Each structure stands twice: as structure tokens, then as C-alpha cells.
Structure 1
Amino acid sequence: MKNTASLKIQAMKEGEPLPFSDSSWNNCRAVLLSSGVSPAAPRDCLFAGEEMWPYLGASCLDPPPALAAFSSCSVGRLFPTAWRGCPALRPPRSAAVAELSFQTPPTVLAGPRPVLPPHRQRVYVACQSMLIVLVGAVPRYHIDQEGIPASRAELAKHIHFASNFTSIVTEWYLIDREAYKVSLASSLFFAGLLIGNITFGPLSDKLGRKPVYISGLFFDVIFGYVTALAPNYDIFAVSRFFVGIVNGGMALVSFVLTQEYVGKSFWSFTGSLTNVTFAVGIAVFALLGYCIREWRYLALVSNTPGVFFLLLSFMLPESPRWLYSQGKTAEAEDVLQYIALCNGKERLNLKLKPSAGTLRKDELAPGILNLVKQPVLRWRTILLMYIWYVCSFVYYGLTLNAGELRGNLYLNVALSGLVEVPAFPLCMFFIEKSWSGRRKTMTCFLTFAGLACVFTMFLPTNAGLLLGPTLLALCGKMMVSAAFNILYIYTSELYPTVLRNAGLGVCSMSCRFGGILAPFVPSMKSLSPSIPFVVFGITGLSAGFLTLLLPETLNKPIAESIDDLQSPRYQVLKNEEAEQSS
């Protein structure tokens, strides 16, 4: 049976309820009938969920936000893009309020069910990101002579490792003067992420999401096997650098691809689901490390799921939003039909209108420079770059520091991943509330993360799990994970479709500087055990306060092109939403 929703409309004038005008209803009914839908009455208009929004003259690929986000809103904002595309649907001036009540939840264009969605491969991304935590772990050891031998051959004769696992430290004796190489390999990985974010974002904006995503995943698997089979440290470090390039770029594109398969009202859900799989991946990697104590076998096993994800990714369709923004409306329609059929819906008779921001043949596609040329985007990008840097710095600093905490190594790593899981339901709840939204919620999470890290300096290091710094460190990790989750969603909504990947790429680039510096911060514990946490705490607090300078995006229209940011209609809708939310 088709999933239907009941739309009840009441017009109000000067605060008094009035019947919906007959002329407006006739105009609406005429459009619905021309699309093959027969509404029963003005106050009982049945339609098939989101599949009706293309028929209503929408000029962008976003379903009416009222379907999922509003319980009451102005008629002028009920289908904001529909009024632009179909003047006949413009409501009378006397109509000011529309009330929605659903008999069943509206259907969503949620990606083809038979295909493994790209967010699932975040488990694989997590294993690659966390590899150095276990592969570079330093076991307890003692040297049966005074001083450390100068040559590696002599060192191998006199050093004895006490733990029952191997790592690059035990194989290549990376201790004392060579100990920095473990942090160096980790920083090279994050340096690769930086380059991957710079290059893959603009490439996917120009060439498409799917081909760039699949290419990155393919080379990620190849270099992952090179890491596992590296005969010496130099090849291991270089392979980690290239893994970072393709892993970071592929993960960025897969996130955007996942978001663009669904309507904007579901971005918070898919964004949270994408990030929660990364958290689960950390716990899965800790379990693999507990079962596989040989580092080369661990690297091979944790890399193998990439082959599985690669084969399934060929079945994914291209992003309909990207196709639409490039003027390929016919191909976008085919993808929407494919998604609808995979979701068990009947074939739709839809026809998308050409996008207002579609490029002419003699025009160049928007590039990274547009982030600097446009004043609105320039200010947003500067703020977002710093916030991304801080989130990465604190997140990976606390994650990599899990191996430095007291207690069982594998349990600490698993907890650092599992502690993120409760953060995502919290995100889902708060970011959809009008009194909190994206901006205020992220500010609170970053502030709490910073305070949790700072307060560790007041706790004794030997107080155990419940009363020691480990508990506050895990709380800080949960808070910054929640902020990081919101940041992905928030940033996606602040950029237009034609620059969304480029904007995310630039922000992720600055994020990687935080990842590059994070591995070296735990070494500051030689000064004081609380110093690393204080550094993380102060930076987290600063980012939390700066977030307040960004605009709120909850229930706001999503720009498809740069022109949309400057169009009077977009500005009017944005200002009206701001007035209503305040």
C-alpha cells in the first residue's frame, strides 16, 4: 500500500481561523490532477509522501521541509521552491499558517535498499585510521645491559619485550631515539588525509561523486596491503602516507554521496549514522587486535573488508543532486526512479525542471576560489576551518591517547569507540529542536568537551577508572564526537551543492592539521600527566565560542548554486525562518 499523508490546511488572517480560499484550492487541485493525483477535499489532501514534491514545481532536489520538520509553518514556506517554480500555487495573502498531520510517516528517498550504502564502509575507514594505535603500540621491555646499544643488531640481542603481541616497535626496535618514528607514521597518515581532502573534493564536484569514490576506495585497498607487507619502516611510512591520501578523499566523497541520496530533512539521520559506523569500527578494530596479536596479520585482516565494499560500490547510483546541479536532469530522473523502485514504490511519472544555477557550455564550473570570492562563503569558511581543526585535534588526540592510558590497551581502544555511540542519539534529538538547532548544540558539546579535558588536571592519576582522568577523557571524547558529528551535517548545509564537496574538502584539509599535530601532544605528559588534556580543553573551548558566529541552518532552504545564496527568494526565505525560530 502506498504511504500517504494527510495535509490539513487552515488559513488565518489577523490571528483568526478562516477557510482555505476556493480559488487557491482550485489552483492546487489543478496541478495535482495534472500529475495524476486526485485529492478528495481542501482539508483532506492525500498525496504519496515525498514523491509528490517534483510535481509541485520544485526547482531543487529537496523535498518540502514541512513534511518532516514542521508541525506548523507559514504557507509561503510550506513548499518554498514550489512557489518559485509554479506561480499558480502561490497562496493568497490572507493565508498565513498551514498545519500538517500525518496518518503515516512520509516516505523518503533513502537510497536503494539492495545496495550497501556508502556509509557502511566507515567501519573500514575506522580500521585504517586506528591502525597505528595497535600496530605502533609500545610493549613493556627491558634491556639486559646498561645503556642502549648503538647498532640495531646489538639491540636485538639485549632487548626483551614482555607483552604477547608484536608491532612495528618490536620488529624494527623503535625505542629511545627511534621512538619518534611511530608518531611520524601517524602524522604522515594525517598529512595524506590533508592532501586527499584538497584534491578529492573538487574532483568529485567536477567528475561526479561515484567515480571519484570508487577510485579512492580501490587505491585505499591497494596501499593497505602494501602497509601490511612492508619489508621496512620506510616503505611502511610511505604507504601510510598514500593510504591517508586515498582514505581521506574517499571518506569525504562517500559522506557527501550518502547525504545527497536523501532529502535535507534526513541529513541529520544519515550524517549521524555515517559517523556512528566509524565509532563502531573503532570497537571492531580493538576486537580484531585482541584476537590477532601479530601486527602484519592484523593489518591484512583489517584491510580485507575494503575489497568487499569495493565490489558492492559498483552497484551504487550517481548522486541525483550532483547530476541535477550539472544540468543532467534526465539522468537525475533515472536515478530517482531507480531509488524509488528499490524502495518498493511504483514507477513515478516525474519531470524535473531545469535548475536555475545550471551552467552554460561556455561557463566554468565553480571552484575553490569561489569560497574566497564570495563574502558570505569566505567568512563561513574561515570559521569552519578553525572549528574543524579543533575538532580533529581534540578527537584524534584523545583517541590516540587511548593507548597511553592506564589499563588494558584493547579495552581502552574499544571504550574510546563505544563511548561515541551514545553521542549520536543526543545529536539527533537536540539538532532537530527549534530551541537548540545545529549551532547552539555544537557550541554546548564543544564547551563540555573542553571542560571535561581541563578538569582532568584536578584528579589523581591512580584513582582508577571511575574516579581517574580516564573517565573524564572518555566523557570528553563523547562530547567532541557529538560535535564532530554535527559539524559534518552543519557544514554540508552551509555550502551550496555546486561547492559542497569543495567546501567540505577545504574544511577537512584544516581538520587534518589537527590530526597531524595530535599524535605528538600525548608526549607532553613527560612535563605533567595533565598537560595534554589541558591543551585539548583550551582549544575545545575556543572553538565552542566561535561556533556562535555561524548562522543556524535548521529548517532553512538549501542552496543548489552560488546564485541561490544571493537570490532575493533565498534571502527572504532565510530571513523569514530566522524570524520564526527567534
Structure 2
Amino acid sequence: MDIDEAYQVVGEFGSFQKRSVAVLVLCQVYMACQSMLIVLVGAVPEYRIDQSYDSLGGHQDLSQSITFTEDIKSIVTEWYLVKHQAYKVSLAGSLFFAGVLIGNVVFGPLSDQIGRRPVFLIGLFFEVLFGYATALAPNYEVFAASRLLVGLMNGGIGLVSFVLTQEYVGKAYWAMTGTLTNMVFAVGIALFALLGYYIRAWRDLASASNSMGLLFFLLCVNLPESPRWLYSQGHTEKAEEVLSYMAKRNGVTVTNLTLKRVGVSKPGHRGNGVLQLAMHPVLRWRTVVLMYVWYACSLVYYGLTLGASQTSGSRYVNVAMYGLVELPAYPMCIYFMNKHWAGRRKTMTSFLCLAGLACFCNVIIPDNSGVLLSPTSLALLGKLLVSAAFNIVYIYTSELYPTVIRNAALGVCSMSCRVGGILAPFVPSMRAVHSSLPFTVFCLSGLSAGCLGLLLPETLNKPAAETLDDLYPDHSRTLERQVLLYEEEEQESNQKQDQ
């Protein structure tokens, strides 16, 4: 039997998979806290600067000239990151996403080569370690460096954990597990806002947010390797052992679980996964299109979220709202993605275009147009729609690539996604040039990515590719028939010789 048939025997989403996926999905709360940390620990309170500072042309020591009038303890108040030092707050946010970019590039291909489980556990351990370095940073330079390292680990394990939630279950449940992953990330943003409301000191907030990572590391230690990865690498016996273990934990009795010794990568296909994406004729164009779609999703998603603390009202309520507003998007995703008249491609492009239009309305509609058409409401609508598109693009991308290079492909696409994340902290600050400029950027990004996404193929109800050869099913069947004919001819020749 092949790997998909084996999942149907042991259980596509049994009790063991439910527990394993639950741990990986809940880990997104920790990852969301790390991603959004700069929003609250870098909060800029109201302040007053002595007139003597301006009269001296800004040459006086800023710490002696500034008075913070709001009771907030952040990196801004500790290291006086205002005026000519204000860029350091956005820089710290960008360094985090630069680390995420590097993590995507490094961890994706690495997990395709040595396995999902070891890469995930090592990355999670070091993220927790560097997270405590953030909380104990004696100066801004150490803080910024630790955010870069935390981002590196966060990007790597985020990618691998998402793939594990897909590969632990049958393909029929990929949309559900992928959606749950992104949904819990949104809940994590809201929980981080709640945590920040009760823990105002930024060092205590960083420590509390990071401590949950240690708990998740202990819960993930006993997770097995992905059977799909083992099978795709030719480790069929190990894949059978993991599947038998799953069956036992699911309460299913399996007497003879034997996987086919076919469908693994050929020796020439075991090279660099990233290189295969550039060389393979089918995957090359998919990767180019998806890289831009991921970039646009990230730019709009994080641009709107990181700008939450700059809007009017309580920064904690705003951050929580920008997290909770995503939740209605995920049931919509599951509904539309599994409809034959919508599927993955049409649903993703529709949400992207609608997110762009919501941002366009924010540009053209006056600020005094009422509650429903206020800038905040339109921004929240844009966040909801781009969250739906972002959720789909994760699932859609994993279905467009074979198992042997799935993590490498997700890593490359996530790399371009993190370019958007690096630029996102600076987009809200473009209000200083013109108030409509940030939403103009979001509008053009969403519309262009939505239109470009129409060039991709549909994957709904299509079998999951395990190897590069599976991208040419007709060609593979032709080769199989040729092999069978050759074997039959060889048998007939041997029989004639024996006679």
C-alpha cells in the first residue's frame, strides 16, 4: 500500500494525531507572542521634551531632557528611543523578521534532509534560550541581536511545525489542521495583548511570554518523526514503525502494514531542494508566483497588525482586536476551500483582491463617515480578509509541492514572505509623508497578488505528490508500463532458453 492508503488503515485523524496536532497548534500561541512582542515592549508613551533641547539643536543628552507622562515601562522609556533614536524600535521589529527570513531559508531544506522532528526540537530549544536573552538584555544592542536570533528560530520552527501538522494526518484533514494552526496564532495575538495589559513592565512581559515556550518544548519531546518524510526518503521500514505506533495509540489493530518500496526519490532527485525548485520546469513558475503572493500577504498582514498600537484608543484593545478579527476568516476558508466551484486558487485570489479593495476604501472614504466606514473598521476588515488569504496560501503551497521538497519550497516562499515582514514595521510610519500612503501600498499589494495567483493550478481533490516524478503522472504510468513489458519479455526469453 502507498502512504495515503496506510493513513486510512491506521486512522487519518485518530486520537494520537489529535493530541500531537493539538500540541503543535497550541505552540502557535508562543510563536505569536514572540512575533508581536515589539508591539508592546516597544510602545511609545506620551512624553515631553524640555525647550532647552530644541534650542541647543538636539545636542543635549536626551535622557536629561525628556519626561515621560504616561506610566509605561518599555524599551523606549529605558533607552530613550525617541526623536532621532525612534527608528530603533522599528529596526528591532525588522531584525526579528530578518531572522525569520534566514530561518525559513536554512531550516526548510535542512528538515527535508535530516528530518522534521530534530530540526523542530533544536529550533524550539534555542528560541526559548534567546527569548530569555531578550528579557535580560542590558542594552539596546543586545536586545536587537537577541530579536534577530529569536526570529531565526521562530521562522524555522514555524515552518516545520506547520508541515508536521499536515504530515501527521491524512490529506483530507490538511485544510483543517492548517487552518487551526493559523487560527490559534490569531488567538495568540489576543492573549498576548491580555498578558501585556496585566504585565506592564517590558522585561517581565518578555519573560512571561517566553516561559510558555519551555512548556511546549517539554510537550514536544516525545513527538515522532513524520511518516510521510520517512517514506519519501526511502526509509520505508521506519515509516512502517511510526505508522504502527500511530495505529496502536489510535486503538486500531493492524496485522500487516507493508508500504510499497516504490515512489521514493531517484538518486538524481536527492540534491539540493532549493536548486530543484529553480531547475524543475513545473515548479519554477509556481515558485515565482507564490513568492510574490507570500510577500504581499505578509506585508499587508503584519503592516496592519504592527500599526495597531499607533491607532487611537487603548493599544491593548487594538492589538487584541487585530488578533480576534481573524477568527471569522478561518471558518470561511474551510467552507470555500472545499467547494468544487471555489477551491484553493479562487478562494485565495478573491480574499486577496477584497483585502486590497478594503484598503483602497480606507484611502478614498473620509474619516468622518461613521463607525462602519471608519478607518479602523476598514483596517480591521482588511486584516480579516488578508488573514483568510494568508491561511489559504500556507495550505495551498504545501499541496503544490511534493513531500521530498515540501519544506524547502515552503522555506523559499516564506523567505519572500519575510521580506514583506521586514518592510512591514516601516509602512505605518509612512503616514508622516502622507496619511493615505500606507493603505495605498497595502491596496496595490493585495490586488496585484490576487491577480497573479490566478496563474496557479487547482489542487482540490487532487492526490498529494510524494516525489518529483509524481508531477508527471502520465509520464510515470508510461514508464511503469514500459518496465512491466520489459520484465514480461525477459521472462519469456528466459523460459525459451530453459526449454
Q: What's the TM-score, normalizing by structure 1?
A: 0.78
Match of 2:124 in 1: 217
Deviation at 1:178, TM superposition (A): 0.5
CA distance in structure 2 between the partners assigned to 1:522 and 1:249 by the alignment: 27
Q: What's the TM-score, normalizing by structure 2?
A: 0.91
Question: Given that residues 107 and 411 in structure 2 are in contact (C-alpha distance below 8 angstroms), is that contact kept between their aligned partners in structure 1?
Answer: yes
Matched, 1:306 2:249: no
Deviation at 1:225, TM superposition (A): 0.4
CA distance in structure 2 between the partners assigned to 1:380 and 1:194 by the alignment: 20
- Of 141, 145, 152, which residue of structure 2 is paired with 1:234? 141
> Percent sequence identity over matched residues?
60
CA distance in structure 1 between the partners assigned to 2:71 and 2:225 by the alignment: 47
Give CA deviations for 1:457-493 in whole Å, capped at 9, x if unaligned. Answer: 2333366754310000000000000000000000000
Matched, 1:404 2:310: yes
Give 5+ residue unaligned stretches, structure 2: 479-499
Written as runs of structure 1 = structure 2, the 5 A alignment for 1:40-119 is: 57=1, 59-61=2-4, 108-109=13-14, 111-115=16-20, 116-119=22-25
Deviation at 1:526, TM superposition (A): 1.4
CA distance in structure 2 between the partners assigned to 1:355 and 1:235 by the alignment: 51
Question: What is the one-letter code of the residue matched to 1:415?
Answer: M
SS at match of 2:73: coil
Once structures 1 and 2 are overlaid, which stretch shifts more, 339-348 or 310-319? 339-348
Give CA deviations for 1:96-148 in whole Å, capped at 9, x if unaligned. Answer: xxxxxxxxxx8635744554531220110000000000111111111232434
Match of 2:496 in 1: none
Matched, 1:179 2:122: no
- Of 377, 381, 403, which residue of structure 1 is paired with 2:283? 377
Give 5+ residue unaligned stretches, structure 1: 1-56, 68-105, 573-582
SS at match of 1:160: strand
Deviation at 1:336, TM superposition (A): 1.3
SS at match of 2:411: helix
CA distance in structure 2 between the partners assigned to 1:483 and 1:348 by the alignment: 43
Matched, 1:202 2:145: no
Question: Given the superposition, is the C-alpha separation of residues 318 and 142 from structure 1 closer, same or farther in structure 2, using an over 3 Å criterion?
Answer: same
- Of 335, 339, 350, which residue of structure 2 is paired with 1:444? 350
Question: What is the one-letter code of the residue matched to 1:356?
Answer: G
Give CA deviations for 1:530-557 in whole Å, capped at 9, x if unaligned. Answer: 2101110111000000110000000011
Question: What is the one-letter code of the residue matched to 2:350?
Answer: C
Matched, 1:492 2:394: no
- Of 456, 459, 467, which residue of structure 1 is paired with 2:365? 459
Question: Given that residues 360 and 439 in structure 2 are in contact (C-alpha distance below 8 angstroms), is that contact kept between their aligned partners in structure 1?
Answer: yes
CA distance in structure 1 between the partners assigned to 2:364 and 2:289 by the alignment: 32
Question: Given the superposition, is the C-alpha separation of residues 136 and 442 from structure 1 closer, same or farther in structure 2, using an over 3 Å criterion?
Answer: same
Question: What is the one-letter code of the residue matched to 2:83?
Answer: D
CA distance in structure 2 between the partners assigned to 1:344 and 1:162 by the alignment: 62
Question: What is the one-letter code of the residue matched to 1:295?
Answer: W
Larger relative CO (CA 8 A, sep 6+): 1 or 2? Answer: 2
Match of 2:497 in 1: none
Once structures 1 and 2 are overlaid, which stretch shifts more, 513-522 or 328-337? 328-337
Matched, 1:434 2:343: no
Query: How many corresponding residue pairs?
Result: 475
CA distance in structure 2 between the partners assigned to 1:345 and 1:237 by the alignment: 50
Question: Given that residues 390 and 543 in structure 1 are in contact (C-alpha distance below 8 angstroms), is that contact kept between their aligned partners in structure 2?
Answer: yes
Question: Given the superposition, is the C-alpha separation of residues 369 and 178 from structure 1 closer, same or farther in structure 2, using an over 3 Å criterion?
Answer: same
Deviation at 1:570, TM superposition (A): 6.9
- Of 380, 386, 395, which residue of structure 1 is paired with 2:292? 386
Written as runs of structure 1 = structure 2, the 5 A alignment for 1:338-353 is: 338-353=245-260
Deviation at 1:166, TM superposition (A): 1.1
Match of 1:545 in 2: 451
Deviation at 1:387, TM superposition (A): 0.5
- Of 158, 166, 184, which residue of structure 2 is paired with 1:277? 184
Deviation at 1:214, TM superposition (A): 0.3
Flag the structure with higher helix content. 2
Matched, 1:315 2:258: no
Question: Given the superposition, is the C-alpha separation of residues 111 and 495 from structure 1 closer, same or farther in structure 2, using an over 3 Å criterion?
Answer: farther
Deviation at 1:365, TM superposition (A): 4.0
CA distance in structure 1 between the partners assigned to 2:365 and 2:270 by the alignment: 58
Deviation at 1:406, TM superposition (A): 1.1
- Of 277, 300, 325, which residue of structure 1 is paired with 2:232? 325
Once structures 1 and 2 are overlaid, which stretch shifts more, 555-564 or 484-493? 555-564
CA distance in structure 2 between the partners assigned to 1:451 and 1:472 by the alignment: 10
CA distance in structure 2 between the partners assigned to 1:155 and 1:516 by the alignment: 28
**Cα-Cα RMSD:** 2.2
Matched, 1:123 2:29: yes
Written as runs of structure 1 = structure 2, the 5 A alignment for 1:124-139 is: 124-139=30-45
